């Protein structure tokens, strides 16, 4: 943002901008200075350090410098030459949809930004006045500062219209404000969840949000061990293949590229029914498309539901407890008390009249209490092994809670009952439009043709959903969740701190899901059996050094948990997993509210 002075200003910048968006939405977006990095090339990041909505008394901290973000991204500028600094701002005047004044002061300068807004038809006119005053002997630099301030001010405000227009829809109700960057506060999580009209963008923000939270939690728990959000980012990225509109139609391209007689059979059946019934065509593929989109909706809603609860919990933990300097049992207990007693249960889900998936959470949140408790203990634990076990226990409890809730979404996403639905719909179509005396041959034609059509499409969907749901792409490896888990190259299977499990309660959780004593190596007898199998050109029963934890049925909670717990333990100190899920260019586009082009 542009610094400016509250009294006796020496340097002033003023501009007027027209923004092609409604007044209320523009005012809400621009006055939330957490968005400053979206339009000011010299603001690197911004955060709000007070709770509640933006208003009188709200305080922000912006970090920036004289070098633009684009230059820093392009060149390896040494930290000593970047000149980055933090500028505090406080809202000292606030009139909704009309005016905001912010002021700040550092050891070297005072500054003030005065923003006034007015409706201009369907657009908004923004007048932006910034003033700055240098302190003490630095006043002698005022002539040089005047020359720079005009150019810096123009750069800082030129991008405001584009940032607003990227975040706010051109018509209809205003788009909920996009989250700040990084996505680590409870307000940010709520903003992401509220993007109901933009499911693709929301999934991308969920993925980035998990990554940002992962880094924030790691920063307060020792910086070595991954947490639940770390893998959450990569799992959300996988879920995106269901949610993005361009993925599901690929199933139908596969169908149409299949046996020619199949599409010909569909066309012949639809033509016969339309001719004999003198009614609208049956349109079987359109019905299939709707069924499959329903399956994708299960994954989309599950992605949102878990992010709202688990990421919301993690963000609140970082926001409220992450800065504690010593263990405070009372503060922890007060935080945990907001979560319900009892074990988690699968959500109750049903389709509403408007074809929206209605969600009713069931069960308790005791495992979230446990997750937070172990993360908090890890913050103050100095023994590396004990800290690693605390974080693994937190990951196990968070994972079990979310996987239990997700049960109906995972089953709904994989099990598409295409054959039965197609048969019921086709027979119902005949019953609705054909006289009773003429229905027999038409029903017979449906029974002869539709089951084969349904089975073929079910196989196409099963191939797609199994590949998407049971393949997890990590930065260094692609995991096929039905296969043995491979060992990371150049490492032992378990990190040293987790080779054995000392905490009896953690060991009991791992043992319950057969993830404590995981088979990793072949015995001499097993190696002999494999040699005999190879002698007769038979495939070995399994590869050595792989964990035999493949989940053959991903709809089984026990199989999923065995794989997930083993993955958490094996990769808990794998630095690769802290890599960003998107490129810098993709991340910048997502932060501005746009879906990047190309593969994601």
Instruction: Please spell the DSSP secondary structure of 324-346, one letter per residue.
Output: -SS--HHHHHHHHTTSPSS-EEE
What pLDDT is recorded for position 285?
61
Q: Residues near 47 by Cβ (< 8 Å), separated by ≥ 6?
A: 34, 60, 61, 180, 185
Q: What is the pLDDT confidence band of residue 288, given thresholds at 50, 70 and 90?
A: low
- Residue 373, helix vs strand vs coil: helix
Whether the pTM exceeds 0.75: the reply is: no
Q: Which one, of 506, 489, 492, lies nearest residue 385 by Cα?
A: 506
510 vs 140, residue with greater confidence? 510
| Region 97-106 average pLDDT | 93
Rounded-to-integer distance, Cα 545 and Cα 180, Å: 43
For residue 12, list its beta bridge partners.
Answer: 131
Could you give the 3-state DSSP secondary structure of residue 192? helix
Task: Please say if the pLDDT value at position 324 is more than 60.
Answer: yes
Q: Do 211 and 181 form a contact (C-beta atoms < 8 A)?
A: no
Question: CA–CA distance from 153 to each of 90, 104, 209, 279, 446 (Å)?
Answer: 19, 17, 31, 66, 70
CB 134 within 8 A of CB 145: yes
pLDDT band at 499 (very low <50, low <70, confident <90, very high): very high
Domain spanning 11-167, CATH class: alpha beta
Nearest to 87 by CA among 33, 147, 155: 33
- Name 198's Cβ contacts closer than 8 Å, sequence gap at least 6: 175, 593
The answer to whether the beta carbons of residues 569 and 498 sit under 8 Å apart is: yes
Helices (H), 245-311: 249-256, 260-277, 284-306
Query: Is 540's pLDDT higher than 60?
Result: no
Nearest alpha carbon to residue 367 among 228, 159, 546, 222 = 228
**What pLDDT, on a 0 to 100 scale, did the predictor assign at position 141?**
46
- 359 by DSSP, 3-state: which? strand
- For residue 280 the two structure tokens come to 């609208």
Higher pLDDT, 596 or 408: 408
Share of the chain above pLDDT 70, in %: 74
- The C-alpha angle with vertex 480 and arms to 472 and 412, in degrees rounded to 5, equals 70
The answer to whether the CB of 522 falls within 8 A of the CB of 529 is: no
Q: Mean pLDDT, to the nearest integer, of 125-149?
A: 68
Q: What is the mean pLDDT of the chain?
A: 80
Tell me the two tokens of residue 256: 């149409």
SS3 label, residue 355: coil
Measured distance CA(28)–CA(17) in Å, rounded: 16
Q: How high is the pLDDT of residue 495?
A: 92
pLDDT band for 272, please (50, 70, 90 cuts).
low
Backbone angles phi, psi at 77, to 5 degrees: -85, 125
> Is residue 22 within 8 Å of 160, Cβ to Cβ?
no
Within the chain, how many helices (H) and strands (E) appear? 23, 11
Nearest to 23 by CA among 163, 115, 118, 96: 118
The pLDDT value recorded for residue 7 is 41
Q: Which residue has the tokens 């993005």?
A: 244
CB 144 within 8 A of CB 163: no
- Note the pLDDT of residue 230: 96
d(CA 259, CA 89): 66
Band (pLDDT 50/70/90 cuts) for residue 266 is low
Q: What separation in angstroms does the CA of 267 have from each of 222, 421, 444, 537, 599?
A: 62, 19, 17, 46, 34
- CB contact at 8 A, 543 and 485: no
φ, ψ (nearest 5 deg) of residue 123: -110, -175
**Choice between 379 and 164, residue whose per-residue pLDDT is larger:** 379
What length does the chain have? 600
pLDDT band at 524 (very low <50, low <70, confident <90, very high): very low
Does residue 205 have a pLDDT over 80? yes
Q: At residue 258, does pLDDT exceed 60? A: no
Query: Is the distance from CB of 327 to CB of 283 less than 8 angstroms?
Result: no
**Which helix or strand (DSSP H or E) is residue 162 part of?**
helix 160-167
**pLDDT recorded at residue 213:** 97
Query: Of the candidates 102, 124, 104, 105, which has an alpha carbon nearest to the alpha carbon of residue 115?
Result: 102
Which helix (H) or strand (E) covers residue 511, if one does? helix 504-512
Residues with Cβ within 8 Å of 33's Cβ and at least 6 positions away in sequence, in order, are 1, 46, 48, 60, 62, 89, 102
Q: Sketch the domain layout of the chain as residue ranges.
A: 11-167, 253-483
Question: CB–CB of 163/38 below 8 Å?
Answer: yes
CB-CB neighbours of 67 under 10 Å: 17
- Per-residue pLDDT, averaged over 437-453, amounts to 79
Residue 593 is encoded by which pair of tokens? 């509210």
Measured between alpha carbons, how far is 75 from 33 in angstroms, rounded to an integer? Answer: 27
Average the pLDDT over each of 31-45, 246-260, 359-373 and give the range with the smallest value.
246-260
Residue with tokens 């249960």: 345
Q: Which residues contact 55 (CB under 8 A, 6 or more apart)?
A: 91, 94
Which residue has 């049960």 as its token pair? Answer: 407
CB neighbour class for 116 (10 Å; exposed up to 12, middle 13-18, buried from 19): middle
Give the largest Cα separation in the chain, rounded. Answer: 102
How confident is the model at residue 264, as a pLDDT? 67
Residue 567 has what pLDDT?
92
> How far is the C-alpha of 545 from the C-alpha of 527, rounded, in Å?
12
Q: How many CA atoms lie within 13 A of 551 on its CB side?
A: 26
Torsion sign (Cα): 412, 418, 420, 425? positive
Arithmetic mean of pLDDT, 29-38: 91
């Amino acid at each position: 943002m542009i610094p400016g002075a509250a009294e006796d200003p020496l340097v002033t910048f003023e501009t007027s901008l027209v923004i092609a968006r409604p007044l209320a939405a523009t005012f809400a977006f621009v006055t939330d200075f957490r968005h400053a990095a979206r339009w000011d090339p010299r603001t690197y990041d911004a955060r709000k350090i007070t709770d509640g909505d933006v208003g009188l008394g709200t305080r922000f901290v912006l970090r920036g410098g004289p070098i633009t973000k684009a230059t820093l991204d392009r060149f390896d500028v040494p930290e000593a030459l970047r000149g980055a600094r933090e500028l505090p701002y406080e809202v000292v005047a606030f009139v909704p949809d009309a005016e905001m004044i912010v002021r700040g002061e550092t050891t070297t300068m005072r500054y003030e930004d005065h923003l006034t807004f007015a409706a201009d038809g369907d657009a908004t006119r923004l007048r932006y006045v910034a003033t700055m005053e240098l302190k003490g002997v630095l006043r002698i630099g005022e002539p040089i500062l005047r020359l720079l301030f005009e150019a810096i001010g123009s750069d800082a405000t030129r991008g405001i219209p584009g940032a607003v227009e990227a975040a706010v829809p051109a018509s209809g109700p205003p788009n909920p404000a996009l989250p700040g960057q990084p996505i680590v506060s409870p307000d940010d999580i709520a903003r992401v969840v509220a993007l109901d009209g933009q499911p693709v963008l929301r999934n991308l923000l969920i993925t980035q949000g998990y990554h940002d939270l992962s880094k924030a939690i790691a920063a307060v728990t020792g910086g070595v061990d991954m947490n639940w959000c770390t893998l959450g980012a990569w799992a959300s990225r996988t879920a995106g293949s269901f949610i993005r509109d361009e993925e599901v139609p690929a199933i139908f391209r596969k169908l149409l590229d299949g046996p020619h007689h199949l599409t010909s059979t569909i066309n012949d059946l639809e033509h016969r029914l339309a001719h004999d019934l003198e009614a609208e065509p049956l349109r079987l593929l359109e019905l299939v498309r709707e069924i499959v989109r329903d399956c994708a909706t299960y994954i989309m809603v599950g992605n949102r539901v878990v992010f709202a609860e688990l990421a919301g919990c993690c963000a609140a933990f970082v926001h409220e407890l992450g800065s504690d300097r010593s263990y405070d049992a009372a503060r922890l207990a007060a935080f945990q008390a907001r979560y319900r007693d009892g074990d988690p249960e699968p959500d109750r889900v049903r389709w509403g009249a408007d074809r929206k998936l209605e969600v009713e959470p069931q069960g308790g949140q005791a495992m979230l209490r446990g997750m937070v408790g172990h993360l908090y203990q890890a913050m103050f634990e100095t023994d590396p092994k004990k800290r690693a076990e605390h974080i693994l226990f937190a990951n196990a409890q968070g994972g079990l809670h979310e996987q239990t809730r997700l049960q109906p979404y995972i089953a709904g996403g994989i099990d598409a009952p295409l054959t039965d639905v197609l048969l019921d719909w086709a027979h119902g179509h005949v019953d609705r439009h054909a006289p009773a005396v003429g229905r027999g041959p038409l029903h017979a034609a449906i029974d002869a043709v539709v089951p084969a059509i349904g089975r073929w499409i079910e196989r196409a969907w099963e191939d797609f959903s199994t590949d998407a749901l049971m393949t997890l792409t990590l930065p260094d490896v692609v995991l096929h969740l039905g296969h043995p888990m491979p060992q990371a190259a150049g490492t032992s299977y378990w990190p040293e701190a987790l080779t054995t499990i000392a905490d009896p309660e953690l060991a009991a959780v791992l043992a319950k899901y057969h993830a404590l004593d995981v088979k990793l190596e072949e015995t001499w007898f097993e190696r002999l059996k494999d040699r005999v199998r190879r002698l007769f050109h038979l495939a070995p029963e399994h590869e050595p050094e792989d964990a035999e934890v493949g989940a053959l049925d991903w709809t089984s909670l026990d199989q999923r948990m065995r794989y997930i717990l083993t993955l958490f333990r094996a990769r808990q100190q794998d630095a690769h997993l802290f890599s960003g899920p998107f490129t810098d260019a993709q991340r910048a586009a997502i932060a501005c509210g746009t879906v990047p082009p190309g593969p994601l």
